[in-house]
Chains A and B, each alone.
Chain A
Amino acid sequence: MIKHGTTETASTRERIHVMQKHPARPPAVSALAAAVVFLACASAVAQHAGGGTRTGPTPWLFGESYCAPCHAHPESYRSEQVVCRMNEAQTWEKSDKHKNAFALLSGPRGLHMGKVLKIDVTTNAACLNCHSAPLAPAAPRPGGERLAVRTQQFDRTRDGVTCVVCHGAFREWVLDHTAFEDPEWRGLSRAEKERRAGMVDLWDPATRTRKCLSCHLGNLDEDKILTHAMYAAGHPPLPGIEVSSFCEAMPNHWEWLRDKQAGRRPEVVQTLKQTLDLNKLEQTELVAVGGLLTLREALRLLAAQVSADRPDVPGMRWPDFARFDCYACHHDVNRPNWRQDRLFPGAPGRPPAPTWPMALVILGLEAAGPDQAAQRREEYQRGLRALHEALAAEPFGDRPRTIAAAQGLADWTDETVKALAKTRIDRPLALKLLRTLCRLDRDDLPDYDTARQLFWALRTIARELEPDPKARAPIDAVLARMDNRLGFSLPSAGLQVPIEETLEIRLKAVARFDPAPFLELVGELTRALPSR
């Protein structure tokens, strides 16, 4: 049994009591208990949380200790009708860094940043919105999430980024799903579960990507912005993100679709098949969708910040240098330097947008309807050119032109994501995508973050295409050499070690990066790819 926070309510104690008595059947019983308790106060809840007219599910913030009584019981995996591993809370507890997200604010770096920025990092929304569960703003903005003002067994100090931060901080689904054998719940589609009950459909690659990116890249509507002022005060640079690789690095507390069928009872497999396509190349799809959405979210954030020009968050007045390519400025000025040989996307001397969010756009572009690829490529190039020109028109960009160009290109990615959703990524297409990634434009030297996006995508797709490690050995060998040489893997992945232990390794890898060996190894990888 895992430890619990101090904010237990009567219902939790009851749940735990019941579970200790009947470990084999905890969910149904506890669900019943919970349902009784909550039905009794449902009307009061609706009034408090919804503030009158309520259209969707009720925002409600549950702590991890509310979920753990069920989701820390892997023994239920085979015996129950459950569709998940049931050890999620244990994985989160032991290996997932999200758990420490809040605690590290009180560490030396957090304290230092607080002093520099003259804020209390443990209570300031600018920090908590990513390092904990988001706080409900005094006045919600259009487009922003509806946030919980009511909490249940939520202990900020130990919960960090807790389960419901990603899965949906809403009362309905959290209660309903505990009666998982109820045909009414099982009969709902994923979309309905999200819309009616607030359970975020993380099986949808676009939804999952957006969820991760809201913190790992930023989202102004959700007040999740990492500004240059925060970086300058000591916040470690956010690494580029490829969602599938980040999921594995968490590590994933869920099963990939291909693993979901093994050892399940037939009726569970049947249930899974109703809601999920178990045979699709899920990770490849995630890489492709993520490639488009990363650019989209980066552009939306850029446009939003240029428009907002807000003084309330430290460093939110435009220009916020954090929206530009860090290494356009933060590089050694000594020569010889490979950066001198790079082409300028806009104009020399004018900081450009970061290039890593553009690295994997080509995958979605190629995959979304091959007959339209040429036209899409042209539209994308045109949009990109407009963005670069707007940003180069004057130092830190011509504001109206930047907003227009960023929004225009973001709209294009939306269209392409829609088209991509209609495409089923099969083996020949995945292989084609791998080859596309290997055929880099050799004149356009990638920087570290861009190269790492490519590395992550190559590794993820190659592993999914060829699950057998023996058959994959030649590819793995090249990828391992690439990783060793250039330091692409996140050194703290799946480790709950303090950031100070790994930050230097990460920053050194960036500073020492040289694109030449990368391109050479990509060449080797091309030769190692299977022919069919």
Chain B
Amino acid sequence: MNHSDRIAVWLTGTALALVALGSGPALVGAGGCSAAACHGSADPVFGRRTLGNEYATWEARDPHARAFETLESDGSRAIAERLAAGGRKVIPAAEDARCLACHSSLEALGAPGAPPSVARDGVGCESCHGAAGSWIGIHVTRDWDVFGPGERERRFGMVALGGLARRADRCAGCHVGEGASRGRLARDVNHDLIAAGHPPLRFEFSAFLANMPAHWREHGRNDAPDFPARAWAIGQAASARAAARLLESRARGALHGQTPWPELAEYACASCHHEIGLATPAASGADAPPKPTLAKWGTWYFPLIEMPLGPAGTTMRPCLARLGTLMDAPRPIAGEVVGAARDAATMLERWLADVDRQPFDQGRVTALIGSLRTGGVTPLARQDGRWDLEAQTFLALVPLRQALPPRQRADRGLMLEIIDRRTRLQSYYGTRPPGP
């Protein structure tokens, strides 16, 4: 039996096994939230604590609602066929555990009593808010007000998405990825999937959050001018932590032969994916000897990670540098990577808690923008993950600018620079220079 067949069997077995174990609270499905009087109003309802039209917003405008449908598209069919290369059995994407883990409410696969149609919801309410079986009843009563967000999560499993760190963490579970744990499927867009046609994941929390049609209003600390800057900084930390944890689980899996290793999705795509074009070397012997270009690790989640911390960020440097050195080797040693990635994740965890508490006042934001701009707009070189750095810089400048007071925000130079950076990024992904 080959690998894919095993997955198929395992997938069909998973539901039964998890039912038997009774693990996980019951899923209700998006339909359970969609009553007009609850979250299914067509328009926002005046005078309520929630908007009331959350379901409608999600259903009509939120791409998460289409996550399952995507698995039935031509593109997904092509991916499934390519994954079956070499004569393996084609597993339709809509039945493949690797796909369903993110493209549906994860727990749908194992939740007792969940109607099979729940998978068809795509990424529904409970994918982010938590399986509602244990709180759907109580959360409409006054008793619910007794519990704070933390308690609601601990006791009932309703995820405290009001906290930005928790929210970013929840997004990163799919948008960065997470290893398999306690009956949960691995959510991992690895190089195998990308090569078969899945777009590579490049998660940046503040941009993704801004692009998602909000079915909520921000409250408390979130309803403050520094929100975009906080979202960026917290997103950086949460994404990097998720990436370090994913790497740890990939390396650990490799020790048992369960995951591919080295995992090529860990590296800058353009490290390898550039056309072979050899520049004429400089004739003079005076220039510094260049390094041979090798695959570069961690160019998406880690290039700016020290920045929001200021001087404190330097404490993280040796830890990440060690991980980088291990990963940049032609044959990274999985056993060593496990430990280094775990250390990095622990450190990032601590930092995430710090940054979650910190305000981002005008001075701090101005300083951050200043240091992002000092690099200037440099030519995009191939192979070295430069595009990733440039893209992260652009994605940092946008929310930081939004966190400035209106007068500074209107700085024409800053705005033009941001527009210029975006144009360049769109025209060139480190492989082919713009133009004919």
A103 to chain B, nearest CB (A): 15
CB distance from A122 to the nearest CB of B (A): 14
Interface contact A333-B431, CB-CB below 8 Å: yes
Across the interface, do B262 and A330 meet the contact criterion of CB distance under 8 Å? no
- Asked if A115 lies at the interface with its beta carbon under 8 angstroms from chain B, I say yes
- The verdict on A348 contacting B281 (CB below 8 Å), with A326-B276, A395-B261 known, is no
A251 adjacent to chain B (CB < 8 Å)? no
- Measured in the bound complex, the distance between the Cα atoms of B82 and A332 in whole Å is 19
Q: How far is the CB of B146 from chain A (nearest CB, A)?
A: 51
User: 1/0 contact trace for B78-95 toward A, CB 8 Å?
Assistant: 000011011000000000
List the A residue with the shortest CB-CB distance to B85. A344
Q: A296 CB to closest chain B CB, in angstroms? A: 23
Contact between B282 and A236, CB atoms less than 8 A apart: no
Minimum C-beta distance from A511 to chain B (A): 4
Q: Is the CB of A395 within 8 A of B264?
A: yes
- Mark A312-350 against chain B: 1 for CB-CB distance below 8 A, else 0: 000101110100001001111110000010011111111
- Tell me the smallest distance from the CB of B350 to a CB of chain A, in Å: 33
User: Interface size of B by Cβ–Cβ distance < 8 Å?
Assistant: 41
Contacts of B155 in A (CB 8 A): none
CA distance A350 to B85 in the complex (A): 11
- Check A232 against B293 for contact (C-beta < 8 Å): yes
Does A118 lie at the interface of the complex (its beta carbon under 8 Å from any beta carbon of B)?
yes
Closest chain-A Cβ to B254's Cβ sits at a distance in Å of 9
| Known pairs A330-B272, A389-B86, A511-B277; A117 contacts B195 (CB<8 A) | no
**Complex formed: what's the CA distance from A510 to B264 in Å?**
24
Task: Assess the B432–A334 pair: CB atoms within 8 A.
Answer: yes
Is A392 interfacial (CB 8 A cutoff)?
Answer: yes
Q: Is B275 an interface residue (CB 8 A)?
A: yes
**Interface flag for B5 (CB, 8 Å):** no
A341, B331: Cα distance in complex, Å: 30
User: Within 8 Å of chain B (Cβ to Cβ): is A108?
Assistant: yes
A44 within 8 A of B: no
* CB within 8 Å of A: which B254-283 residues: 260-264, 269, 272-278, 280-283
Chain B contacts with A in 340-358, Cβ cutoff 8 A: none
Give A69 Cβ to nearest chain B Cβ, in Å: 37
Q: B331 and A229: CB pair below 8 A?
A: no
B148 contacts A by Cβ under 8 Å: no
Chain A residues whose CB sits within 8 angstroms of the CB of B330 once the complex forms: 315, 317, 319, 321
Interface size class of A (residues with CB under 8 A): 35 or more
Interface 1/0s, chain B 287-302, versus A by CB < 8 A?
A: 0011111100000000
A334 x B292 contact (CB < 8 A)? no
**CB <8 Å contact, B282 and A319:** no
**Contact at B278–A394, with CB atoms within 8 Å?**
no
User: By the criterion CB–CB under 8 Å, are A236 and B278 in contact?
Assistant: yes
Q: Which of B192, B263, B291 neighbours the largest number of chain A CB atoms within 10 Å of its CB? A: B192
B86 contacts A329, C-beta separation under 8 Å: no
Interface presence of B55 (CB below 8 A): no
- Give bound CA distance, A329 to B263, whole Å: 14
Q: Which of B262, B278, B431 contacts A507 (CB 8 A)?
A: B278
Q: Does A503 contact B (CB under 8 A)?
A: yes
Within 8 A of B (CB), among A220-237: 229, 232-234, 236-237
Residue of B nearest to A343 (CB): B85
| Contact residues in A for B193 (Cβ distance below 8 Å) | 348-349
* A347 and B85 contacting across the interface, CB-CB below 8 Å: yes
Q: Does B362 contact A (CB under 8 A)?
A: no
- The answer to the question of A111 belonging to the interface, with a C-beta cut-off of 8 Å to chain B, is yes
In this complex, what residue of B is CB-closest to A332? B431
Q: Is B82 a contact partner of A348 (Cβ separation < 8 A)?
A: yes
Q: Report whether B192 and A348 are in contact in the complex, using a CB–CB cutoff of 8 Å.
A: yes
Residues of A within 8 A of B277 (CB): 504, 507, 511
Q: Complex formed: what's the CA distance from A103 to B273 in Å?
A: 33
Q: Which residues of B sit under 8 angstroms from A394, Cβ to Cβ?
A: 260-261
Question: At the interface, yes or no: A388 with Cβ under 8 Å from chain B?
Answer: yes
Q: Is the CB of A348 within 8 A of B85?
A: yes
A500 within 8 A of B: yes
Does B196 lie at the interface of the complex (its beta carbon under 8 Å from any beta carbon of A)?
yes
Is there an interface contact between A117 and B86, defined as CB atoms closer than 8 Å? no
B292 touching A330, Cβ below 8 Å: no
CA distance A349 to B98 in the complex (A): 15
Please indicate the chain B residues that have their CB under 8 angstroms from the CB of A504 in the complex: 277
How many whole Å from A526's CB to the nearest CB in chain B? 29
What is the predominant secondary structure among interface residues of chain B facing chain A?
Answer: loop
- B192 touching A347 by the CB < 8 A rule? yes
Given the known interface contacts A115-B289, A388-B86, A395-B264, the answer about A349 and B276 at a Cβ–Cβ threshold of 8 Å is no
Q: Which of A343, A349, A503 contacts B192 (CB 8 A)?
A: A349
Q: Which residues of A contact B273 (CB under 8 A)?
A: 329-333
| Structural contact, B190 and A349, CB atoms closer than 8 A | yes
A395 near B191 (CB under 8 angstroms)?
yes
**A118-B275 in contact given A109-B281, A334-B432 (Cβ < 8 Å):** no
Cβ of B21 under 8 Å from chain A: no
Selected from A116, A344, A396, A511, the residue in CB contact (under 8 A) with B276 is: A511
Q: B86 to chain A: which residues have CB within 8 Å?
A: 344-347, 385, 388-389, 392
Q: A108 contacts which of B83, B274, B280, B290 (Cβ < 8 Å)?
A: B280
Q: Mark A33-50, 1 if CB is under 8 A from B, else 0.
A: 000000000000000000
**Provided the pairs A318-B331, A330-B274, A392-B86 are in contact, do residues A349 and B429 lie with their beta carbons within 8 angstroms?**
no
Residues of A within 8 A of B275 (CB): 330-332, 507, 510-511
Which of B260, B285, B289 makes the CB contact (< 8 A) with A395?
B260
A388 CB, nearest partner CB in chain B, Å: 7
CB distance from B281 to the nearest CB of A (A): 3
Q: Which residues in window 189-216 of B have CB below 8 A to A?
A: 190-197
Q: Hey, which chain A residues are within 8 Å of B283, CB to CB?
A: 108
Q: Are A330 and B192 in contact (CB under 8 A)?
A: no
Asked, given contacts A115-B290, A234-B281, A329-B273, whether A346 binds B429 with beta carbons under 8 Å apart, the answer is no
CB distance from A268 to the nearest CB of B (A): 48
Bound-state CA distance A115–B291 (Å) is 9
A167 at the interface (CB under 8 A from B): no
Distance from B163 Cβ to chain A, minimum over Cβ atoms (Å): 36
Contact pattern, B 135-161, Cβ under 8 Å of A = 1, otherwise 0: 000000000000000000000000000
A116, B196: Cα distance in complex, Å: 35
Most buried by A among B85, B195, B292: B292
- With contacts A117-B292, A330-B275, A347-B86 taken as known, whether A500 is within 8 angstroms of B431 at the C-beta atoms is no
**Closest chain A residue, CB of each to CB of B276:** A330
Q: Which residues of B contact A349 (CB under 8 A)?
A: 190-196, 260, 264
What residue of chain B has the Cβ atom nearest to residue A112's Cβ? B281
In Å, the complex CA distance between A232 and B293 comes to 6
Measured between alpha carbons, how far is A395 from B192 in the docked complex, in Å?
A: 9
The complex places the Cα of A507 from the Cα of B221 at a distance, in Å, of 56
Cα–Cα, bound, A53→B354 (Å): 77
Cβ of A116 and Cβ of B289 under 8 Å apart? Answer: yes
Residue of B nearest to A309 (CB): B331
Can you identify 5 A-B contacts, CB atoms within 8 angstroms?
A117-B292, A234-B281, A321-B330, A395-B261, A511-B275
Interface of B toward A, CB cutoff 8 Å: 82-83, 85-86, 190-197, 260-264, 269, 272-278, 280-283, 285, 289-294, 330-331, 429, 431-432
A-B pairs, top 4 by smallest CB distance, nearest first, are A112-B281, A349-B195, A349-B192, A348-B195
Other than the given A116-B289, A232-B292, A349-B264, 4 more pairs (CB < 8 A) read: A111-B285, A346-B86, A349-B191, A388-B86
